[in-house]
């Protein structure tokens, strides 16, 4: 590792701080969680902003804090209602951890959000970045909030060529930032880094001419902006293949199944999903194309070479309704949707229930299920 911009002395750092805070005061984004120093609201916003765009979070933030305006309300929340409020944001473990952390605060800190950095870090779902953001913004502690934006800015500012994808590199950025953060306005400084990284010092084609740090920046002076930060490519998500089945009964209700209590999309509701091999998936994709001729569409499963493992006692439509894809952080789902009518002797699974479409809005659906429902609706048009 090398830091090629080692020339900033104490006087220069003070000038950088002054210029940067002044820029932030003039250019700061008007965001609802910036209208308060309440650690509860800052915490909720920071958790929501993980892996999610700011413009998406705003509406969720208003809705969530209206439903759960206090730590106590969140601690006492019903999990299914909580997940419903969170629905669409993804990474649902974040919502579950919020509730667990709120319960921690109620039991371990008498319902008061802790101000000590180590106590903040002890809360469920709070890592070093979130702890630093809360401590600096809510409690004016000179703690770094190191995320991708901060590392990109500091990499270019100091010419740091350490791989930001490696956890060990965090120590380097922590050391630099502790020299740069002003004790008088640590929260503003960290939020300025967030704004600069998201709107000016962007991954590609940074707007250096409008950057308040350009006079201090190694990569700008040497015209090496595109060289920093150094980052190895992320591992490609693993492809997983499913057949989803929309089974309707005589009452026009569809079978929904609740996922296991632990693991991916825990306790959420979907159409039944059957994992298949890529070979079987592509065979079904080809042989039962959604644009197949609309003749003899239905047949009893035993008489039709539909994908293996489809439930018996269902009359299946002999073509799929389409395909959806969804990328998680480590998995890429490929899902074909098939449609069938349950016969009178159909036995629903233990965690399943038939639900009318008009009541779907009361169930917690992950994004893939929402996409499947859209496919089903389109097939009726």
d(CA 178, CA 180): 6
Cβ–Cβ < 8 Å for 198, 149: yes
d(CA 211, CA 199): 10
- The residues annotated as belonging to the active site are 46
Pick the last residue of a domain from 181, 198, 227.
Answer: 227
d(CA 273, CA 144): 43
Q: Indicate the number of domains in the chain.
A: 2
Confirm whether 90 is domain-assigned: yes
At 179, give phi and psi (nearest 5°).
-80, -25
The pTM assigned to this predicted structure is 0.85
In whole angstroms, how far apart are CA 154 and each of 26, 106, 160, 177, 306? 21, 37, 7, 8, 56
Confirm whether 5 is domain-assigned: no
Same domain (yes/no): 244, 270: yes
In whole angstroms, how far apart are CA 306 and each of 12, 97, 244, 315, 338? 71, 41, 13, 11, 10
Confirm whether 158 is domain-assigned: yes
Confirm whether 253 is domain-assigned: yes
Pick the last residue of a domain from 201, 227, 253.
Answer: 227
Same domain (yes/no): 215, 288: no
Whether omega for the bond prior to residue 229 falls within 30 degrees of 0, making it cis, is yes
Q: Which of 106, 80, 103 shows the shortest CA–CA distance to 92?
A: 80
pLDDT band at 299 (very low <50, low <70, confident <90, very high): very low
Same domain (yes/no): 73, 222: yes
Same domain (yes/no): 70, 189: yes
- What CATH number has the domain bearing residue 102? 1.10.340.30
Pick the last residue of a domain from 188, 208, 227.
Answer: 227
Q: What is the pLDDT of residue 308?
A: 55
Kindly report, residue by residue over 323-348, the tens digit of the pLDDT. 999 999 899 999 999 998 998 888 88
Q: Which domain holds residue 188?
A: 10-227
Average pLDDT over residues 229-243: 92
């Amino acid at each position: 590792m090398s830091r090629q911009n080692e020339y900033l002395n104490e006087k220069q750092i003070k000038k950088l701080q002054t210029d940067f805070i002044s820029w932030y005061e003039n250019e700061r984004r008007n965001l609802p969680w910036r209208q308060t120093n309440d650690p509860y609201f800052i915490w909720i916003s920071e958790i929501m902003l993980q892996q999610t765009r700011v413009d998406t979070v705003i509406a969720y933030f208003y809705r969530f804090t209206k439903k759960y305006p206090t730590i106590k309300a969140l601690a006492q929340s019903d999990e299914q209602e909580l997940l419903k409020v969170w629905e669409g944001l993804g990474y649902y473990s974040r919502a579950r951890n919020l509730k667990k952390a709120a319960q921690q605060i109620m039991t371990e800190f008498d319902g008061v959000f802790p101000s000590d950095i180590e106590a903040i870090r002890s809360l469920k779902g709070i890592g070093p970045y979130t702890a630093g953001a809360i401590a600096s913004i809510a409690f004016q502690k000179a703690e770094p909030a190191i995320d991708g934006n901060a590392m990109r800015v500091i990499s270019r500012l100091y010419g740091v060529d350490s791989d930001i994808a490696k956890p060990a590199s965090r120590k380097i950025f922590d050391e630099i930032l502790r020299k740069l953060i002003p004790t008088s306005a640590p929260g503003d400084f960290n939020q300025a880094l967030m704004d600069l990284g998201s709107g000016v010092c962007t991954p590609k084609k940074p707007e250096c001419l409008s950057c308040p740090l350009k006079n201090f920046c190694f990569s700008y002076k040497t015209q090496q902006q595109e060289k920093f930060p150094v980052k190895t490519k992320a591992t490609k998500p693993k492809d997983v293949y499913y057949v989803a089945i929309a089974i309707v009964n005589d009452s026009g209700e569809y079978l929904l199944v609740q996922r296991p209590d632990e693991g991916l999309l825990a306790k959420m509701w979907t159409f039944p999903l059957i994992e298949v091999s890529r070979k079987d998936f592509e065979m079904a994709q080809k042989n039962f194309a959604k644009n197949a001729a609309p003749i003899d569409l239905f047949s009893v499963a035993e008489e039709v070479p539909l994908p293996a493992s489809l439930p018996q006692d269902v009359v299946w439509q002999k073509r799929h309704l389409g395909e959806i894809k969804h990328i998680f952080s480590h998995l890429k789902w490929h899902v074909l949707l098939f449609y069938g009518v349950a016969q009178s002797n159909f036995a629903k699974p233990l965690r399943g229930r038939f639900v009318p479409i008009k009541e779907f809005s009361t169930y917690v659906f992950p994004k893939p299920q929402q996409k499947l429902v859209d496919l089903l609706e389109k097939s009726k048009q």
